[in-house]
Amino acid sequence: MFQLNGKIAVVTGGGSGIGKAVAVLFAKQGAEVNVIDLNEEACNTTVTEIEKDNARLSDGQGKANAQVCDVSNQQQVKDIFNKIGKVDILVNSAGVSHIGNIESTTEADLDRLYNVNVKGVYNCLQAAVTIMKQNQSGVILNLASIANNVGIVDRFAYSMTKGAVYAMTLSVARDYISQGIRCNCISPARVHTPFVDGFIKKTYPGNEEEMFEKLSKGQPIGRMAKPEEIANLILYLCSDEASFITGCDYPIDGGFIKLNN
């Protein structure tokens, strides 16, 4: 089950965190993965890891290609997707975060988040759907957030962008269901990624361990998710085993939305 043999996948933000975990897992399941990231070094690191894993696999199915790209630049995105040619699966994982309420969020902050989290997703959706329509099949998985389901303190701009991702997911799912294209999103709570470690180190110098524990305990399950756990759900939703699922948002949040009252 959950094999992706012969599938061509595109994973944005594949250089680190959730995107990297998805790219590595997809390759293990037999897909040829195009790792898109703005950071060339991170992009190549993911591809190298996949190639090392592939060398140990007996069937040698999984492959990876590094595609350095700024998802907020529409022409770059179009060029990359045209270069790839065929796309069976798109995972929109690239994203940036911001801490602040409506008063402390500047216009520059809003533009930065919009350009990556909204326009970047739009650019990749448009490029992928155009290709998928030709084959009358395709699967798209967008990374939303618990922030598009519940109010979170000081996440004004971030919540706005993830709400847009959720809305785009429903729109694409409805518009292209007759073309054999499925589109879903997932809403993770806090995930332990290099971004989280960097944020804690920068924001709470000298109190890293204490803040990590506090942020972990903020979720009813008592810990942050691992990127690999998020990737497992994404694999299912992008596999043929989930062929009856479209237009849905799946919280993967350690009980945050329903139990955090």
Catalytic residue numbers, as ranges? 158
d(CA 139, CA 60): 24
Q: Which residues of 17-54 are buried (b: 16+ CB within 10 A; e: fewer)?
A: bbbbbbbbbbbbbbbbbbbbbbeeebbbbbbebbeeeb
C-alpha to C-alpha distance for 248 and 96, rounded to whole angstroms: 23
Q: Which ranges constitute the DSSP H helices of 114-255?
A: 120-135, 156-175, 194-203, 208-217, 227-238
Name the strands in the sheet holding 249-252, side by side, starting at the edge strand that comes first in the sequence.
63-68, 32-37, 8-12, 89-92, 138-143, 181-188, 249-252
